[in-house]
Amino acid sequence: MKRSLRILVLGTSAGGGDWPPLVAAAVSLAEAGHEVAYLGDEGLARATAGTGLTIETVSPGRDLPARMRDWQVARLQNPATPIPILDWVDDVAPRAVERAKSLAPDLLLCSDFTAPLGIRVREKVRTPMCLINATYYLGPGSPRRLEEDFAPGATEAQGFAQLIQSGDLVLHATDAQFDPSPKPLPRNHHWVGTLIWEPAQEPPPWLAEPGDPWALVTLSSERQENEIELARAAIGALASFPLRTLVTLADPKPREELGAQAANVRVETFVPHSPALERAALCVAHAGHGIVAKALQFGVPMVLVPWDRDQPGVAARAEALGVARVVARDALTPETLAAAIREVLESPDYAKRARYHRERLRAESPATARVCELVTAFMAEQTRFSSG
């Protein structure tokens, strides 16, 4: 009989697509019978209601999302303003260490954003750390240079790449066909496949009403500077196509910047992406790894405008698979976007390749099952090492 593990998850609702793969991993480990404690914030507690996870929250104002919002404002005045993760770690680490000492976990589980906190806790309690990487492999032997994979001015790129190497076990929420990295990967790194998780919510009834197929236009869940330009351009570009357009904005504030909309355009602050993609013929997005992984899972071809952070690398990998057409951010206009959309819709190859990868991914073992298998195998190896 496999031993039940005690696992302390260090999470945050900051980081856009960073936290859903960590939630997916934590839920799967809990469902496999392991004892999972989760330190997070109020946003994470609200989002994960109904999953069976219990989120212990840090005080409002001390959480990372609040600090990130302040950082985004400060960055408008000074682009070199450092990302506030280390300040947050200094503030939260004493509580995290205290929780780890009381739980005596076998394993720490963290994401890219919470890896610095995991490192701090690991130093104090000498517990191995598993990192769930929400994007592609970054490290020795990567086929693409860091400068190609990250947007110009993404000052955190080098530190981010180093963080991904910090886990005792590193599980990448992608697969080897999407992310052709070194073969073999470093011994403690593994592809697990797409770790998709969304807050539980019934899809709106209008989504299933008969009519033209949908085009899903979606922006980052962690608001990016001037990204509303992508939504505006997409609405203009899609006006001449026989599609209904669904625009999802994580932040409702920019809605008024879009102006009056045609009857076939809906602008919503949140709609689960999965039911939208089930009914979509096209996805237009910022090339976040999360939305690209979901579009692949549902076999939907894409037009991607990589906006910031690691998104150029995501877009390049999707384009290399033949499932996406990429438009550079500095070349974005309604006209250039419309030309890319026309190419994707009128060439059968994009939809054909997207369907192929949908079937391929669905035929493989679920990524959550791979997480459980790899964590169990890693901990068994740790036990053999310590007892030998």
- pLDDT value at residue 80: 76
6-193+365-387 has which CATH code? 3.40.50.2000
Expressed in percent and rounded to 5, the helix, strand and coil fractions of the chain are: 45, 15, 40
- pLDDT value at residue 154: 64
Pull the structure tokens for residue 131.
């990192």
pLDDT tens-digit map of 201-210 = 788 899 989 9
6-10, 69-73, 354-358, 367-371: range with lowest mean pLDDT: 69-73
Question: For 105-243, where are the alpha helices, taking DSSP H only?
Answer: 115-125, 146-149, 157-164, 228-238
The continuous run of DSSP H or E covering 191 comes out as: strand 189-191
> Residue 4 pLDDT more than 60?
yes
Q: What is the mean pLDDT of residues 252-263?
A: 66
Please name the residues in contact with 160: beta carbons below 8 A apart, sequence gap of 6 or more: 112, 138, 310
pLDDT tens-digit map of 286-297 = 999 999 999 999
| Identical topology for domains 6-193+365-387 and 205-363 | yes
How far is residue 105's CA from residue 98's CA, in Å, rounded to a whole number?
12
Q: How confident is the model at residue 221 (pLDDT cuts 50, 70, 90)?
A: low
Q: What is the mean pLDDT of residues 342-347?
A: 96
Tell me, what DSSP letter sits at residue 16? G
Q: What is the mean pLDDT of residues 13-17?
A: 83
Radius of gyration of the chain measured on its C-alpha atoms: 21
Count CB-CB contacts under 10 A for residue 342. 15
How far is residue 131's CA from residue 117's CA, in Å, rounded to a whole number?
11
> Residue 273 pLDDT more than 50?
yes
Q: How confident is the model at residue 1 (pLDDT cuts 50, 70, 90)?
A: very low
Percentage of the chain beyond pLDDT 70 is 93
pLDDT tens-digit map of 125-146 = 999 999 999 999 988 888 888 8
- Angle of helix 19-31 relative to helix 367-387, nearest 10 degrees, comes to 70
Domain segments of the chain as ranges: 6-193+365-387, 205-363
Three state DSSP letters for 93-134: HHHHHHHHHHHCCCEEEEECCCHHHHHHHHHHHCCCEEEEEC
203 near 232, Cβ under 8 Å?
Answer: no
Q: What is the three-class DSSP state of 333?
A: coil
- pLDDT value at residue 28: 96
pLDDT tens-digit map of 35-68 = 999 999 998 999 898 888 999 998 887 888 888 8
Average pLDDT, the chain: 89
Please name the residues in contact with 290: beta carbons below 8 A apart, sequence gap of 6 or more: 16, 17, 20, 21, 134, 196, 221
pLDDT tens-digit map of 152-186 = 766 667 777 888 889 999 999 998 899 988 878 88
Question: Is 3.50.50.60 the CATH classification of the domain at 205-363?
Answer: no
What does pTM read for this prediction? 0.91
Alpha carbons within 13 A on the beta-carbon side of 185? 21
Count CB-CB contacts under 10 A for residue 357. 21
- pLDDT value at residue 270: 80
Please name the residues in contact with 362: beta carbons below 8 A apart, sequence gap of 6 or more: 297
- pLDDT value at residue 155: 64
